[in-house]
């Protein structure tokens, strides 16, 4: 395996959680809800997946635990913002603060316990294709899931009736309600889908990326995910592109440290965060493009008239 191939494989591993959580949040925001709690749901998914895999001995059951935990945790956000119409920004923050604390408490006994790793699935013959084989056909389940999610979300949003309704809810909840669409229910489902995706992304971190439990191991990826959705201007394909871009920056930064570039490691570690800011600035400067794609009801509470 060439060095280039090895780097590419680590980039894929670093990008997968961003793509998965990003697609989840994209659906949530398309429904008009701004859930800033991705970081919290992700870390809950990570700890749940780790503990689940430890208890069952199966990384796949761990993965499932992560997904379920993320989905259930997001319900807390859904209940507050959708049923009790609390401020979405503040509630998302609350979800993150609670998630970081709760995951620390749950994972306390699991620090420095050797983890269960989710191994790659090898497709016979196909994986022998030079270069493409290992990249496309010798990956762990989460990579295939991220691709399936991409195709699925794209199809759902732009080709299915339910997706059309979801976008209607996000663009004008008042009109959607008048048309007889259950706004609250649609949003609950979207929020839970986003939570499940964030949970899966977290599970990838503690089962694939670094198969162990470290407190705060999401390290701001949830927030990067939120920037990613803005970067993607709410388009699934662009989430993929952006996710891989961010993944590449993260990995190249590690390799630069390994090669002993004369820059202190802390400055290299700043790169993913700094580049997120730079990208956000470039994107948001184009006011018209952002306005066209932003779901018009994003972040606004909906109380049905009775």
Partner 1 sequence: MRIELEKRPQVSKLFGLLSPLLALALALVAGTIMFAVMGKDPVEALDAFFVEPLLEVWSLHELAIKAGPLILIAVGLCLCYRSNNWNIGAEGQFTMGAVAGSFIPIVFTDWHSPIILPLMLIAGAIGGALYAAIPALLKAHFNTNEILTSLMLVYIAQLFLDWLSRGPWRDPQGHNFPQSIDFPPEAVLPAIWEDSGRAHWGIVFAVIAAILAWFVMKYTLKGFEISVLGQSARAGRFAGFSSRKMVWFAFLVSGALSGLAGISEVSGSIGHLQPAISPGYGFTAIIVAFLARLNPLGAILSGLVLALTYLGGEAAQLSPGISAKAASVFQGLLLFFVLSCDTLIYYKIRLVWSRVRGGAA
The footprint of partner 1 (CB under 8 A) covers 36, 76, 80, 83-87, 89-91, 93-94, 97-102, 104-105, 108, 219-220, 223-224, 226-227, 230, 264, 266-267, 269-270, 273-274, 276-277, 280-281, 284-285, 287, 290, 303-304, 306
Q: How many CB atoms lie within 10 A of CB 256?
A: 16
Least Å distance, CB 154 to partner 1, is: 24
Least Å distance, CB 97 to partner 1, is: 4
Cβ closest to partner 1, residue 102 vs residue 164: 102
Cβ closest to partner 1, residue 142 vs residue 186: 186
Q: Which long-range contacts (CB under 8 A, 24 or more apart) does 60-66 make?
A: 60/118, 60/141, 62/116, 62/118, 62/203, 62/206, 62/207, 63/118, 63/141, 63/142, 63/200, 63/203, 63/207, 65/203, 66/199, 66/200, 66/202, 66/203, 66/206, 66/207
Enter the DSSP assignment of 123: P
Cβ closest to partner 1, residue 1 vs residue 281: 281
Cβ closest to partner 1, residue 144 vs residue 273: 273
How far apart, in whole angstroms, are the C-alpha atoms of residue 65 and residue 60? 9
Least Å distance, CB 158 to partner 1, is: 25
How far apart, in whole angstroms, are the C-alpha atoms of residue 28 and residue 303? 18
How far apart, in whole angstroms, are the C-alpha atoms of residue 117 and residue 52? 12
Least Å distance, CB 277 to partner 1, is: 5
Contacts of 273 (CB under 8 A, 6+ apart): 220, 224
Cβ closest to partner 1, residue 64 vs residue 227: 227
Element (H, E) at 259: none
Least Å distance, CB 258 to partner 1, is: 18
Q: How many residues does the chain have?
A: 306
How far apart, in whole angstroms, are the C-alpha atoms of residue 148 and residue 154? 10
Cβ closest to partner 1, residue 54 vs residue 86: 86
Least Å distance, CB 270 to partner 1, is: 5
Cβ closest to partner 1, residue 61 vs residue 98: 98
Least Å distance, CB 32 to partner 1, is: 17
Least Å distance, CB 177 to partner 1, is: 8
**Secondary structure of residue 150 in the 3-state scheme:** helix
Cα–Cα distances in Å, from 194 out to 1, 33, 123, 152, 206? 36, 10, 29, 14, 19
Contacts of 50 (CB under 8 A, 6+ apart): 62, 107, 110, 115, 206, 207, 212, 213
Cβ closest to partner 1, residue 35 vs residue 142: 35
């Amino acid at each position: 395996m060439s060095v280039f191939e090895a780097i590419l494989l680590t980039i894929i591993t670093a990008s997968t959680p961003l793509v998965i959580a990003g697609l989840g949040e994209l659906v949530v925001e398309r429904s008009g809800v701004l859930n800033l709690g991705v970081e919290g749901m992700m870390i809950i998914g990570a700890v749940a997946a780790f503990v689940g895999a430890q208890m069952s001995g199966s990384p796949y059951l761990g993965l499932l635990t992560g997904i379920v935990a993320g989905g259930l945790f997001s319900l807390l956000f859904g209940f507050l913002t959708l049923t009790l119409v609390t401020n979405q920004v503040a509630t998302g923050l609350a979800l993150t603060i609670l998630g970081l604390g709760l995951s620390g408490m749950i994972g306390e006994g699991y620090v420095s316990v050797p983890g269960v790793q989710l191994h790659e699935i090898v497709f016979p013959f196909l994986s022998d294709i030079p270069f493409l084989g290992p990249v496309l056909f010798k990956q762990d389940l989460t990579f295939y899931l991220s691709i399936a999610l991409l195709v699925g979300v794209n199809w759902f949003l732009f080709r299915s009736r339910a997706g059309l309704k979801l976008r209607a809810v996000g663009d004008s909840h008042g009109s959607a309600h008048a048309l007889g669409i259950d706004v609250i229910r649609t949003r609950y489902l979207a929020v839970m889908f986003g939570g499940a995706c964030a949970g899966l992304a977290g599970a990838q971190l503690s089962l694939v990326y670094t198969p162990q439990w470290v407190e705060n191991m999401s390290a701001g990826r949830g927030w990067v995910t939120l920037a990613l959705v803005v970067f993607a201007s709410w388009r699934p394909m662009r989430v993929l592109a952006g996710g891989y871009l961010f993944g590449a920056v993260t990995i190249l930064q590690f390799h630069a440290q390994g090669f002993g570039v004369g820059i202190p490691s802390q400055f290299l570690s700043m790169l993913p965060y700094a580049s997120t800011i730079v990208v956000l600035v470039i994107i948001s400067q184009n006011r018209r493009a952002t306005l066209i794609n932003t779901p018009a009801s994003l972040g606004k509470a909906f109380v049905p008239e009775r």
